[in-house]
């Protein structure tokens, strides 16, 4: 990991942690100043605001920050372009064969319902 990746990751982590903390603090301040709420309701509401804000901000802040800072030296790696190992039709065929064998062992299962995938 180079320094550009580390800096973008660190800055985005600070942003998407501080923003929900401020939102939860604002929620607590509003409930203290207005309304007659119990401390359990205030704390639960603040935690809920923090959690939902984190869920929304975590996947959105880092790409936004990368575009904004123009981090051109960062290489994007995609897991989808990597070759699969042990997947595909061979795995499906072995799974259907397993289900067919199960039919011979289990009295309530009929192997006729299992499609064969080109054995």
Q: Where are the domains of the chain?
A: 3-73, 89-119
3-state helix, strand, coil in the chain (%, to 5): 70, 0, 30
C-beta atoms surrounding 113 within 10 Å: 9
At residue 7, the pLDDT reads 85
pLDDT tens per residue, range 6-57: 688 899 999 999 999 999 999 999 999 998 899 999 999 999 999 999 999 9
Global confidence as pTM:
0.55
Q: Any residues with CB less than 8 A from the CB of 27 and at least 6 apart, and which?
A: 42, 45, 46, 49
- The average confidence (pLDDT) of the chain is 76
Question: Distance between CA 56 and CA 89 in Å, rounded?
Answer: 37
CA distance 110 to 66: 55
* pLDDT attached to residue 66: 87
């Amino acid at each position: 990991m180079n320094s550009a990746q580390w800096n973008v990751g660190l800055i985005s982590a600070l942003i998407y942690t501080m923003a929900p903390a401020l939102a939860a603090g604002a929620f607590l301040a509003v409930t203290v100043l207005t309304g007659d709420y119990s401390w359990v309701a205030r704390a639960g509401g603040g935690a809920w605001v923090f959690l939902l804000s984190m869920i929304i901000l975590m996947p959105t802040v880092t790409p936004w920050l990368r575009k904004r800072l123009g981090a051109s030296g960062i290489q994007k790696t995609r897991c989808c372009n990597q070759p699969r190992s042990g997947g595909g039709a061979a795995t499906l065929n072995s799974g259907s064969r397993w289900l067919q064998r199960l039919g011979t062992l289990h009295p309530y299962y009929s192997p006729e319902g299992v499609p064969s995938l080109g054995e």
